[in-house]
Amino acid sequence: MKKTKVINSEISYTISKMGHTDSLTIGDCGLPIPDDVKRIDLALTHNVPTFIQTLDVVLDELCVEEVVIAEEIEDKNAAVYEEILKRFKDIKITKVSHEEFKKLTKDSKAVVRTGECSPYANIILKSGVVF
């Protein structure tokens, strides 16, 4: 049995295949997912699991060198924005419009859909290297 916290086989497998600068998106339940991008659907009901719960588990396994968020989150979802800032104090945070964010998800290895029901609770994690 796996020793790390990520027991979801699809998330674990996706992370294991990622190379430097590859991206993984974690999104709220309303984020549109492009048809040609792998969907890992964790949503059970409203806010289960939450965006932050999912992000924290993924961060236990994925080395991140940069994140991308929608600039709208700062005003429209300050609580989640502050939680993101706490987790990425020494990591580059790039802000783009929500429309641009949705376009960027097309380059992700996968989009992890959470049950989060708050606006703009989405993030693109760009893989770093562990050496």
> Is-catalytic flag, 20?
yes
CATH code of the domain covering residue 62:
3.40.1650.10
Q: 56 among the known binding-site residues?
A: no
* CA contacts within 13 A on the Cβ side of 47: 4
Classify residue 100: in a domain, yes or no: yes
* Catalytic choice (2, 17, 20, 39): 20
pLDDT (tens digit, 9 = 90+) per residue, 34-67?
999 999 999 999 999 999 999 999 999 999 999 9
pLDDT (tens digit, 9 = 90+) per residue, 10-41?
999 999 999 999 999 999 999 999 999 999 99
Classify residue 4: in a domain, yes or no: no
Domains in the chain, number? 1
Classify residue 37: in a domain, yes or no: yes
Classify residue 14: in a domain, yes or no: yes
Put simply, whether the predicted model's pTM sits higher than 0.95 gets the answer yes
Classify residue 2: in a domain, yes or no: no
Q: 122 among the known binding-site residues?
A: yes
- Which residue range forms the structural domain that includes residue 80? 9-127
